[in-house]
Copies of this chain bind each other. A is one copy, B any other.
């Protein structure tokens, strides 16, 4: 189904031929028809392209296809092509995660998702965590390197996506980019240092729509490029994109959106009001902190079940192969199942007797054997130690505190929440029922 409010449209124009009775100038003839067809008042035309486009009008006998971006604040003419090309119109959406980049390729004429994929954020080589990257961005070369790394990666993946779907990157006429405030700054080549220093002021929150060329993206050079605005230093464009996508802002009842990544961002509200909050979700949910923790990539255990009767443990692995580690959602799943099975007690301590033959030790600490060495990809056992568990429980406490504080601030109780949205790379894999059992997310009616 074609989108109801497209940001970019292509219109085929069979313009009236010039005559002594209609001596409208060539470009004015084109603009007039586009404005009438799309019912718009203004239409900006890039000056440098005018000589080329007026020649094209004549050589194609005034039958052309015009591509127009319609988004506020002002419509723009993106391109003019000879003849009818209006069936080819594509869009790209990019999620700038600290760890992973996610992409969606859309057919904008049909409003249809063609493909989605992800790739590691290559800025990781400048530092796995955001603070290290902010530090590296303190020099012009560092900032430039961080910017080029992420833009180069987007261009590389886009090229591949286009090849798979037999289209040219030039046929992508719209691109949206959303990330947290720091990732957005690095993507734009803006020094993010002020974000982590009091009074925590970003360099920019709202950008005017740009062109792909201005951003360095290898799409149609004048493709409409929208970078989601940030709300503040710790509520970024990715959260706004989540609010938009979830439809939370249109709900009558109270809803909650949780975006769990390095930080947890939480938005509470309905069609009338929204309140947002960000806080450290705790290191347990980041890859590399728990002993066998990893990001939600191939080889990560993302779901765990323990049979209540037989105590038998089963798990699923992203990609289907042998496990390498356990990702954030797998960790929550595992902990919830261990608690249900009584292997973790109310104080959060591992119970040696209940763990049975899965009881083990690592670095002198009690631990639970998740996968024996002979079943893993690397031949090392995957275990959950008491230390890992303590960190996870502190994260859980942090998360619960964020939620409680936020709802109480506006005079509500967690029980008042009617709808629950979970976003983020972590959210893609989380099983909300497990998070509820863990007490990380509130019970919903």
- Residues in chain A within 8 A of chain B (CB atoms): 18-20, 23-28, 31, 42, 44-45, 47-48, 50-51, 54-55, 58, 73-74, 188-191, 194, 198-208, 210, 214, 230, 232-233
Contact = CB atoms under 8 A, between A and B. Distances in A.
A51 B201 contact: no
Given A201-B24, A230-B25, A232-B23, A190 B47 contact: no
A335 B58 CA distance: 48
Given A19-B199, A42-B73, A190-B50, A25 B214 contact: no
19 contacts: A18-B201, A20-B198, A20-B199, A20-B200, A23-B201, A25-B201, A25-B203, A25-B206, A25-B232, A26-B194, A28-B206, A42-B74, A47-B207, A47-B208, A51-B189, A51-B191, A51-B203, A54-B204, A55-B191
B27 A204 contact: yes
A209 to B, nearest CB: 10
Contacts of A191: 51, 55
Nearest to A26: B203
Contacts of A210: 47
Contact of A23 (B42, B200, B206): B200
B74 A204 contact: no
Given A18-B199, A199-B18, A233-B23, A204 B48 contact: no
A11 to B, nearest CB: 19
B23 A204 contact: no
A42 B44 CA distance: 15
A73 B55 CA distance: 26
Q: In the complex this chain forms, how many copies of it are found?
A: 2
Contacts of A232: 23, 25
Contacts of A58: 194
Contact of A50 (B45, B73, B188, B200): B188
Contact of A73 (B24, B26, B44): B44
B48 A214 contact: yes
Contacts of A47: 207-208, 210, 214
* Nearest 6 interchain pairs by C-beta: A25-B205, A25-B202, A27-B204, A18-B201, A54-B203, A42-B73
A426 to B, nearest CB: 26
A194 B199 CA distance: 61
Nearest to A189: B51
Contacts of A54: 190, 203-204
A191 B203 CA distance: 44
A202 B191 CA distance: 48
Nearest to A214: B47
A45 B208 contact: yes
A25 to B, nearest CB: 4
Contacts of A208: 44-45, 47
Contacts of A48: 214
A218 to B, nearest CB: 17
Nearest to A76: B208
Contacts of A206: 25, 28, 31
Contacts of A20: 198-200
Contacts of A205: 24-25, 27-28
A146 B267 CA distance: 61
Nearest to A75: B73
Contacts of A31: 206
Contacts of A214: 47-48
A26 B199 contact: no
Contacts of A198: 20
A438 to B, nearest CB: 33
Given A51-B189, A51-B190, A201 B26 contact: yes
Contacts of A194: 26, 58
A352 B24 CA distance: 53
Nearest to A211: B47
A201 to B, nearest CB: 4
Contacts of A45: 208
A152 to B, nearest CB: 19
Given A47-B207, A73-B74, 16 more contacts: A18-B199, A20-B199, A23-B233, A24-B205, A25-B203, A25-B206, A26-B194, A26-B201, A27-B204, A28-B205, A28-B206, A42-B73, A42-B74, A50-B188, A51-B190, A54-B204
